Structure 1
Amino acid sequence: MSELLDRIDSLQNGLNKLVKQHQAVKRDYKLLLQENEELKAERMQVMDRLEDFDARYSALKAANAMLGSKTFKKETKLKINTLIREIDMCIAHIAD
């Protein structure tokens, strides 16, 4: 009988340890979920800033081209030609 009680005590102790481990894992999981959400928000902010910097960079490139920078002249001419072609296509569609 005492052997049975010892086994029951051992099982209870093991179960208590498992419950404590489970609670610790749940706490860690909640913390990781929170950290994940914070990192997602931070990533979105960084992506927004990157888009802003890209827009600024494009504007600066265009400004340099307008100021006569040889580096960006060809690129600006190509962009203008593309825009003219698009406008011509729009006019052709309207004329039809």
Structure 2
Amino acid sequence: MSSIEGIVDALEKKISQVLKTQGVLKEANLKLSQEETQYRSTIKNQELEIKAWKEKYETLKMANTILGSDEDKRETKLKINTLIREIDHCIGQLSE
């Protein structure tokens, strides 16, 4: 009978250890999930900031073309022509 009690005691200890390990792993998982959320938020903010800087760069680039560089004038004319074509296309779709 004592060997059965020993087996049961050993089993209870192992179950207790497994439950403790599970608790530790749940806490670690929760912490990692919170960190992931924080990192995703940081990445999203940085992406928005990059987008804003790109828009500022394009605006500055356009302003420089208006001021006078020959290289930039050509690029600006191409962009304006592209915009005009897009507007014409939209007007054509609206008139249909």
| 3-state SS in 1 of match to 2:68 | coil
Aligned-partner SS, 2:46: helix
Amino acid at match of 1:32: L
Q: Give the partner amino acid of 1:44.
A: K
Aligned to 2:17: 17
State percent identity of aligned pairs: 35
Give structure 1 stretches of 5+ with no counterpart.
none
Count of residue pairs brought into register by the alignment: 96
Question: Does 2:40 align with 1:40?
Answer: yes
Scaled by the length of structure 2, the TM-score of the pair is 0.86
Q: CA RMSD in A?
A: 2.0
Q: 3-state DSSP class of the match of 1:82?
A: helix
Task: Give the aligned partner of residue 52 of structure 1.
Answer: 52
Residue equivalent to 1:31: 31
Alignment of 1:77-92 (within 5 A): 77-89=77-89
**Aligned letter for 1:79?**
K
Q: Following superposition, which runs of at least 4 residues in structure 1 exceed 6 angstroms of deviation?
A: 93-96
CA-CA distance at 1:79 after TM superposition: 1.0
Aligned to 1:73: 73
Q: How far off its partner does 1:70 sit? A: 2.6
Instruction: Structure 2: state its 5+ residue gaps.
Output: none
1:61 aligns to 2:26 (yes or no): no
> C-alpha displacement at 1:73, in angstroms?
1.6
The Cα of 1:29 is off from its aligned counterpart by: 0.7
